[in-house]
A = this chain, B = another copy of it.
Amino acid sequence: MPYITVKMLEGRTEDQKKALVEKVTAAVSETTGAAEDKIVVFIEEMSKNHYGVAGKRLSDM
């Protein structure tokens, strides 16, 4: 606790995801006072055909 879910388009590299988990954990710990070892991060990736803005999927743009 806290539990953080980051939902984003697929395509980031492993290095980016590794840094993402590290930096988000640090930001949450610093601002909420939660210990780092209590913080959980989930990454959820979506594909362009499963994400739409303004009625249009990214895969159709």
Contacts and interface: CB of A to CB of B under 8 A. Distances in A.
Contacts of A32: 8, 12, 16, 20
Contacts of A39: 53-55
B1 A4 contact: no
Can you tell how many copies of this chain the complex includes?
Answer: 6
Interface residues of A, number: 51
A51 B6 contact: no
20 contacts: A1-B8, A1-B9, A2-B6, A3-B7, A14-B49, A16-B32, A17-B50, A18-B60, A19-B30, A21-B56, A21-B57, A23-B30, A25-B54, A37-B54, A41-B55, A42-B46, A42-B51, A42-B52, A43-B51, A43-B52
